[in-house]
Amino acid sequence: MSRILIVEDNEKNMKLLRDVLGFKKHEVLEAVDGETGVAMATEHLPDLVLMDIQLPGINGVEALRRLRANDATAKIPVIAVTASVMDQDRRQIIEAGFDAFVSKPVNLKEFIAAVEAALAGKGA
């Protein structure tokens, strides 16, 4: 079982991701803003972080920058989960250093595949 941190401010999206990951027997941690997400990742060292981009406070790109700057969290895979689906947005997200990209509304098959690939890459 893997520990996965979801950083998402929309309760419906949070519930969907939580339910899918719970069904797959993952331990789920939740944060509703970027600052809390960074703090929880630092404290709990999850196997994977699912990060919304548009968040209250610091956005997902800034939260990722902070995770990558910390030796304890720098190697944790982070998947962007966002409604920003334009090619330019996608390119900026990958260039920012995210390990993968899942668009909203979430396609469950693609989402599960991205999560499994990220965890496999980490050796989880």
Mean pLDDT of 20-35: 98
pLDDT band at 122 (very low <50, low <70, confident <90, very high): low
CA 123 to chain centre: 17
Q: Give 31-69 pLDDT, tens digit per residue.
A: 999 999 999 999 999 999 999 999 999 999 999 999 999
Task: Determine the angle formed by the axes of helices 11-23 and 108-122, rounding to 10 degrees.
Answer: 60
Specify whether the CB–CB gap between 120 and 79 falls below 8 A. Answer: no
Residue by residue, DSSP assigns 10-64 as -HHHHHHHHHHHHHTT-EEEEESSHHHHHHHHHHH--SEEEE-SS-SSS-HHHHH
The model's pTM is 0.95
**Domains of the chain and CATH, by start:** 3-122 (3.40.50.2300)
State the pLDDT at residue 89.
83
